[in-house]
Structure 1
Amino acid sequence: MRESAAERHDRLLGLVRERGSARVSELASQLGVSPVTVRRDVEDLAGRGLLDRVHGSVSWPQDRTAPAPGSAGGARSGLVLGMLAPSATYYFAEVIRGAHEAAARAGARLILRISDYRPEEDHARTQGLLAAGAEGVLIAPGWRRPGDPAAYGDWIASLPVPTVLLERQPAAGSPLDALDRVCSDHRHGVLLALRHLVKLGHGAPLLMARADSPTAVTVRSGYEEALAVLGLRAPQDVIGSVPADQAPDAFEEAVQALREAVVSGVATAALIHNDVDAIQVVQRLAELGVRVPQDLALIAYDDEVAALADTPLTAVAPPKREVGRHATELLVERLTQTGEPGTVPPRRHLTLLPQLRVRSSCGDPLT
């Protein structure tokens, strides 16, 4: 299967992170692509603040000592903000971009660490941020499974600097629940999708979703809640999704289950998490004789690449960039606010609502 730009960006960032810096020609050789492609990738990643670029070379942003763009002169506050993210591409690329832009507007410097979804390394990477001078931190832990917050999360509540959680909702009453956080309301996003499909005349839509991230877990629970709100029952069990490149047999089994549901008349609509899976599912369904939207109305979740499908996919779009921006603004406020002596300003849980971006994959209303 051809490597996507997001996957290539992941590999490029990994190489630069390991080395600290690298020449474009070296990266092209390592990645097996042309120097033109690498220069284009570097320009994109540097524009997001994920790499530094100088004279044909690139370096990892954590090594910077100069002020962040936009922070020169009298506008610089002197603040150093740390950010831990599970990935620098796909979903979290926009979160990071929003954080970087907000930090620059505040005249602060943002330094970044990536966990690669290894929650057991989150603590050490965050200690690295503090050692690099971070006065406050934005943290999106690399949790993948329901038990990860309990196994790898308690230390976050005892950090010695102001902390804001990103796109993570800890268990009610847990120590992490008392922290500031900024999240997308994925349950609302799922409800938007199902309501749209029902308004088009479809019965209860199917859900095909992963189970390997907090977003995926919330989408699954949000599906049950949305069906209850709409007074519907699931047409069958949720179809578990897996990345096609990591588990091709399991992916094929999931697609065949969806095809069978369509052919047998069990469902005429589906929500799929995430975009990449949805595009690959549509491609495989077409080979199996199931057309989108003629035979199956489909909505993707994430809206990273949904618009680029052969049939542009209607998608739920979490406000990723705004999550990064609002979280950074909140952290800067915590670091700069002055209040009454002895008072502690109340913590905030800020929830931002996704939007539904309607394209071609749902077709016309049923008659």
Structure 2
Amino acid sequence: MRLHVDQRHERVLALVREHGSLRVAELAAELGVSAVTLRRDVEALAGQGRVRRLHGSVVWAGEAVVEVPAPRDPSEGVVIGMIVPTTASIFADIVRGAREAVRAHGGRLVLGVSGYVDTEDAVQAGHLVAGGAVGLLVAPSWSGGVPVGGQEQWLLDRDVPTVLVERAAPPGNPAAALDRVRTDRAHGAAVAVGHFAALGHRRVTAVVQEGPHAAQIIAGYESAVRSLGLDGARGAPSVREHGDYESSVDYLVDAVRERDVTAALVHSDEDAIVLVPRLQARGIRVPDDLALIAYDDEVAPLADVPLTAVAPPKRSVGESAAKLLLQRLAERASGQPPAPRQHVELLPELRIRSSCGGKTLTR
């Protein structure tokens, strides 16, 4: 329920009286209004002598004020550009997390979308910087998740702080020196395999779609299979490569019937939802004959058989990347030496539902 202006003024007064002083951005967030609206409220109250406005903060008029306040936060009011390949799938929540973090600092996030077209990344970056963006959050359209053939060069040519989001450059590549924040997808795959093992599954497999995250997921899956001493069936086709899913269905049916596979990790949960009824039509029941864990947890709970899923910390990735970029902008504005560059990996979690069953297997 939105407050009337008079109610809002009273709330501002109460908060400032309680704390002595507060930043404009903090007050706006507390009241759920824009920074512009809050500044108008503060100007009105300051005109009445009830509060004082001082360097981006609001001070209670009854307090003695020493005119040596902390300097203005250089990140306040900045424009941050963000480039993503799509606003669907995981990136919807990543963008939301980044937007909320930037807005909490009084800044504005402006979005560019590349549509997974490699050459469009640089075009979008140029447009955003020309429009006033002083820093960039970028998830480049690198099909394998890492740059090849000089795909990173446009990033290095930009004279603005840049943080990679859900992407990484390998050691030795110039872009490896950039800050980055991403999900540790290998860890997520390993957690899924560990859950299968805890339920008693000894023969497992994975069906992974082609794309920027495939290498990490496969690496985590294979490492966990080796570490836990499981039998990891090989040869699963990519569902994206074949499109009609029939090759993946054929593979899984054969794996269950001929090789005694009892569990499968499927990336993504949309693909898992497509595969389940096709498997059931071929006589393979989920989870009775084949336990499934999906990867991404976008729509996994909505499946006919609700899917256990690996859930990347999507909003936290966006929030952490934005905060890291704001830190770099503050360092640049103050002239202080920058802190060491950061490669941040956030761990996903496993959300347990029906698709794995609950019984420990013995075979």
TM-score range, shorter chain: 0.7 to 0.9
Superposed CA deviations along residues 224-266 of structure 1, whole A, max 9, x for unmatched, are 222222233422323322278xx22xx1111111111112243
In structure 1, what residue type is equivalent to 2:216?
Answer: T
Whole-Å separation in 2 of the counterparts to 1:341 and 1:109? 23
Between 1:300-309 and 1:230-239, the stretch displaced more is 230-239
In structure 2, what residue type is equivalent to 1:99?
Answer: A
CA contact (8 A) 2:331 2:338 kept: no
- Percent identity, please: 44
2:164 alignment partner in structure 1: 165
The one of 228, 231, 250 equivalent to 1:230 is 228
Q: CA deviation at 1:280?
A: 0.3
* In the alignment, structure 1 residue 357 sits paired with structure 2 residue 351: yes
SS in 2 for 1:327: helix
TM-score normalised by L of structure 1: 0.76
CA contact (8 A) 1:69 1:104 kept: no
> Alpha carbons of 1:149 and 1:100: their partners in 2 closer, same or farther (altered >3 Å)?
farther
CA contact (8 A) 1:71 1:106 kept: no
Q: CA deviation at 1:297?
A: 0.4
Q: CA deviation at 1:301?
A: 0.4
1:42 alignment partner in structure 2: none
Q: CA deviation at 1:324?
A: 0.2
In structure 2, what residue type is equivalent to 1:192?
Answer: V
Superposed CA deviations along residues 129-184 of structure 1, whole A, max 9, x for unmatched, are 10111000000001113775434222212320000000012111211110110010
> Alpha carbons of 1:243 and 1:156: their partners in 2 closer, same or farther (altered >3 Å)?
same
2:271 alignment partner in structure 1: 277
Q: CA deviation at 1:195?
A: 0.3
CA contact (8 A) 1:188 1:353 kept: yes
Between 1:261-270 and 1:347-356, the stretch displaced more is 261-270
1:183 alignment partner in structure 2: 182
Q: CA deviation at 1:289?
A: 1.2
1:131 alignment partner in structure 2: 130
SS in 1 for 2:321: helix
CA contact (8 A) 1:239 1:258 kept: no
Q: CA deviation at 1:338?
A: 6.6
1:333 alignment partner in structure 2: 327
In structure 2, what residue type is equivalent to 1:222?
Answer: G
Alignment of 1:199-278 (within 5 A): 199-211=198-210, 213-242=211-240, 247-248=243-244, 251-278=245-272
SS in 2 for 1:258: helix
CA contact (8 A) 2:204 2:231 kept: no
SS in 2 for 1:152: coil
Whole-Å separation in 2 of the counterparts to 1:69 and 1:103? 15
Larger radius of gyration: 2
CA contact (8 A) 1:71 1:108 kept: no
RMSD: 2.1
2:361 alignment partner in structure 1: 366
